[in-house]
């Protein structure tokens, strides 16, 4: 394009909005322009009436499986759900005081939390725009409460910046916005935007930048009360003799940029991570519990599927009944919804088509580590005035999330002390659970020195060692080429789950995949029955 400046395109405009306002503002703008969509869930599914005397087997009682079972049952199908574990939910899982968890390899963790405390190793958030999950919570009576994702008084931290000292999120956010606004105001005043902005546009832009970036009357971002009203004071406004506030010093642009701390500002502004976000009261598995209660004895627990077969007459599944000494049991149905993660399904004897089998055998599952740490007191509230939210760091723990419940309680509190992915997660996975917890406290104490003294208990879940998934979520080898093979109806069997959606790792993805799968299954069943 050289140095020519033409009328800005929609992409140019959105890029500018994103640079100045962040991902959340850009997404809202895209939404107003009709360029971005949230979850396509549009209300309860209406399958119609099932063909007479048709049975559907559902393999797996996670979110996808239970949604399929509830809706197929309500349409009139006979439904049987086969579940490996002794509880429903799959990755929608909550660990509570007194629970015992045995991971692959035999390590056993007995959870020594205070009564009422819990930790969500899997899903821990319900975004406001995951309309499907929220609707099922409404229909099943699952009470939701706000989860604080961004807290301006939490920290941003780098071990290599600012002598390793954590900085309040609001200071970095305010300084980054302020310096960007300062620079953009200078560019505007120097005439660089004259060909794309009218005089009135420039006047309005400068007024907006003064507000957005806390600039002074000269359109500069400098230390003073205007900036401190955003980033915080050396001495906050008070009363009496020393009531006058004292402004603190802003961080100069060069130091800010070299710190790299600005890189975490948009972490929680992505579409599925922006506020408001919710959590079920009492733990994420309250959703799974409500679904399981709705299904009642349709779910058969502690059944290990060993073989899946289908022919022109129906589907045959063989499983080991762990409550009966692993006795082999055969069950049949006209159709099947298989929600078993492909990491597990690939180890089960089956006769799927070659195209589906290829997807199953080539899908890997990403690594993740989550560590819940309980402390004797809520020092983050008492000492540092942090109520909910997330601290971001480049230490291996990646982030610390503070609880959004039981504020001001005098009982022990549980932090999400580590949530990491990739190579770091593999490194944590190679440690014993005790070592993972110890390392989490050690790293976390670089931000919160109180951690070592206040530590009480912990539990560490390395997802590659979780027996029923062997990983956190499905990762495609070539999604563009393989996706349709993975979701296609394979004669009498259709697969569903977060791995078969464009919302991987989210419960909403599992739900949407399930609703799509059973819609197609019902269509096939109805056509076969001549309806």
pLDDT digits (tens, 9 = 90+) for 66-102: 999 999 999 999 999 999 999 999 999 999 999 999 9
489 — pLDDT class (breaks 50, 70, 90)? very high
- Identify the band that residue 273 occupies on the pLDDT scale cut at 50, 70 and 90: confident
Round to whole Å and give the CA distance between 283 and 120: 7
Give the burial class of 256: count Cβ atoms within 10 A of its Cβ; 0-12 exposed, 13-18 middle, 19 or more buried: buried
Sorting pLDDT into bands at 50, 70 and 90, what band is 272? confident
Compute the average pLDDT of residues 310-327. Answer: 97
Residue whose token pair is 């992915």: 421
- The lowest-confidence range among 60-64, 196-200, 353-357, 462-466 is 196-200
Reported confidence tier of residue 127, pLDDT bands at 50, 70, 90: very high
* Omega of the bond leading into 113 within 30 degrees of 0 (cis): no
474-475 vs 364-365, strand pairing mode = antiparallel
* CATH number 2.40.50.100 is the correct assignment for the domain at 95-123+367-465: no
Band (8; pLDDT cuts 50, 70, 90)? very low
Structure tokens at 163: 């002598």
pLDDT of residue 270: 76
DSSP 62-108: BHHHHHHHHHHHHHT-EEEEE-SSSSSBTT---EETT-EEE-TTS-E
Spatial neighbors of 355 by CB under 8 A, at least 6 apart, are 485, 488
Mean pLDDT calculated for residue range 310-314:
96
Find the range with the poorest average confidence among 5-19, 184-198, 209-223, 423-437.
5-19
Q: At 274, is the pLDDT very low, low, confident or very high (cuts 50, 70, 90)?
A: confident
Residue 37, pLDDT > 80, answer no
Residues in the chain: 531
Cβ-contact 101, 458 below 8 angstroms? no
Q: What are phi and psi of 68, to 5 degrees?
A: -60, -45
> What are the domain boundaries of the chain?
1-37, 55-85+286-362+477-528, 95-123+367-465, 169-262
Distance from C-alpha of 397 to C-alpha of 152, rounded to nearest angstrom: 20
What's the rounded Cα separation, in Å, for the pair 127 and 279? 9
Residue 413 has pLDDT above 50, yes or no: yes
Percentages helix, strand, coil for the chain (3-state, rounded to 5) are 35, 20, 40
Which residue matches tokens 């899946």?
Answer: 308
Q: What is the rounded average pLDDT for all residues in the chain?
A: 92
More confidently predicted of 319 and 36: 319
**How does residue 193 score in pLDDT terms, banded at 50, 70 and 90?**
confident
Contact 420, 368 (CB under 8 A): yes
What was the pLDDT predicted at 20?
43
Residues whose CB is less than 8 angstroms from the CB of residue 348 and which lie 6 or more positions away in sequence, other chains included: 305, 306, 307, 308, 340
CATH code given to domain 169-262: 1.20.1440.240
Is residue 278 pLDDT above 70, yes or no?
Answer: yes
With a cut of 50, say whether residue 29 has pLDDT above it. Answer: no
Q: How far is CA 34 from CA 25, 29, 345, 410, in A?
A: 14, 9, 39, 48
In percent, the amount of the chain with pLDDT more than 70 equals: 93
pLDDT band, residue 266 (cuts 50/70/90): confident
Say how far apart CA 405 and CA 384 lie, in whole Å. 17
CATH of domain 55-85+286-362+477-528: 3.50.50.60
Which structure tokens are listed for 301? 């627990």
pLDDT confidence band for 531 (50 / 70 / 90): low
Q: What is the mean pLDDT of residues 13-21?
A: 44
Annotate 147-176 with DSSP letters as a single string.
E----TTSEEE-TTSGGG--EEHHHHHHHH
Is 350 strand, coil or helix? strand
pLDDT of residue 526: 96
């Amino acid at each position: 394009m050289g140095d020519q400046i033409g009328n800005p395109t929609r992409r140019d405009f959105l890029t500018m909005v994103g640079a100045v306002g962040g991902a959340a503002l850009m997404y809202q703008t895209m939404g107003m322009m009709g360029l971005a969509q949230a979850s396509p869930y549009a209300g309860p599914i209406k399958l119609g009436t099932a063909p007479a005397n048709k049975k559907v087997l559902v393999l797996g009682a996670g979110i996808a499986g239970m949604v399929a079972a509830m809706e197929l049952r309500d349409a009139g199908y006979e439904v049987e759900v086969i579940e490996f574990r002794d509880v429903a939910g799959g990755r929608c899982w909550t660990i509570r005081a007194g629970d015992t968890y045995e991971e692959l390899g035999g390590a056993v963790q007995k959870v020594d939390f205070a009564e009422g405390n819990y930790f969500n190793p899997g899903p821990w958030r319900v975004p406001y725009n995951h309309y499907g999950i929220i609707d099922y919570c409404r229909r099943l009576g699952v009470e939701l409460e706000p989860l604080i994702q961004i807290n301006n008084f939490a920290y941003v931290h780098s071990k290599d910046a600012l002598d390793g000292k954590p900085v309040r999120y609001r200071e970095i956010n305010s300084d980054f916005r302020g310096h960007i606004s300062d620079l953009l105001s200078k560019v505007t005043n120097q005439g660089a935007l004259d060909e794309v902005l009218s005089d009135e546009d420039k006047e309005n832009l400068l007024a907006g930048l003064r507000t957005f970036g806390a600039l002074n009357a000269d359109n500069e971002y400098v230390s003073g009360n205007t900036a401190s009203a955003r980033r915080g004071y050396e001495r906050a406004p008070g009363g009496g003799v020393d009531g006058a506030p004292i402004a603190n010093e802003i961080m100069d642009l060069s130091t800010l940029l070299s710190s790299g701390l600005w890189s975490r500002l948009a972490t929680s502004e992505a579409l599925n991570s922006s506020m408001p976000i919710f959590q079920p009261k009492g733990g994420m598995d309250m959703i799974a519990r409500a679904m399981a209660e709705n299904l009642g004895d349709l779910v058969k627990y502690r059944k290990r599927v060993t073989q899946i077969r289908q022919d022109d007459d129906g589907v045959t599944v063989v499983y080991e009944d762990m409550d009966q000494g692993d006795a082999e049991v055969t069950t049949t149905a006209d159709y099947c919804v298989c929600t078993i993660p492909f990491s597990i399904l690939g180890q089960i004897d089956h006769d799927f088509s070659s195209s589906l089998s290829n997807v199953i055998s080539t899908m890997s599952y990403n690594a993740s580590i989550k560590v819940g740490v309980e402390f004797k007191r809520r020092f983050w509230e008492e000492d540092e005035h942090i109520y909910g939210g997330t601290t971001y760091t480049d230490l291996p723990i990646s982030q610390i999330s503070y609880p959004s419940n039981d504020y001001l309680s005098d009982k022990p509190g549980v932090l999400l002390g580590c949530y990491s992915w990739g190579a770091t997660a593999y490194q944590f996975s190679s440690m014993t659970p005790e070592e993972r917890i110890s390392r989490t406290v050690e790293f976390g104490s670089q931000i919160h020195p109180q951690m070592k003294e206040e530590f009480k208990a912990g539990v560490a879940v390395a997802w590659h060692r979780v027996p029923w998934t062997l990983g956190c979520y499905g990762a495609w080898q070539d999604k563009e080429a393989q996706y349709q093979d993975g979701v296609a109806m394979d004669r009498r069997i259709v697969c569903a789950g977060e791995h078969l959606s464009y919302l991987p790792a989210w419960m909403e993805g599992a739900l949407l995949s399930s609703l799509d799968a059973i819609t197609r299954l019902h269509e096939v069943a109805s056509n076969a029955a001549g309806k």
